[in-house]
Amino acid sequence: MDDLKDILKGRVQHAGVTASVTAALVVESAQKVFDDFFGLTPQLIRVLYLKNRTLTVAVNGAPVAQEVKRNEKTLLEQLRAATKDEQIERIRYLL
């Protein structure tokens, strides 16, 4: 007879929930990175979702978008370190 832990783990992986939970944790950690990096109120930059190795953020204006673009390389390094997810390749921002 299988262990209950193994059965649950298999069912969760089969249902595809693991990827969703991981993405949600990455979004939460990424929001903290942006808040620390820019020192801004949360309303100016809001992390929306992670999909296809692209982190999508909503920005409040063009100047904020320019700052995100200018600091993208540094932000990606900090995001990868904070989230322990090496798959984040780029940041997409929405105005």
The per-residue pLDDT of the chain, averaged, comes to 85
Residue 15 is predicted with a pLDDT of 66
Residue 16 is predicted with a pLDDT of 65
Residue 17 is predicted with a pLDDT of 67
Total domains in the fold of the chain: 1
72-83 vs 17-38: helix crossing angle, rounded to 10? 130
Residue 65 belongs to domain with CATH number: 3.30.300
Mean pLDDT of 74-83: 92
Range of the domain at 90: 4-94
pLDDT in tens, 38-68: 886 667 899 999 998 999 999 999 999 999 9
pTM equals 0.77
Q: How far apart are CA 49 and CA 30, in angstroms?
A: 10
Distances (CA, A) of 16 to 21, 26, 55, 89: 9, 16, 20, 22
Q: What is the CA radius of gyration of the chain?
A: 16
H/E element, 70: helix 62-70
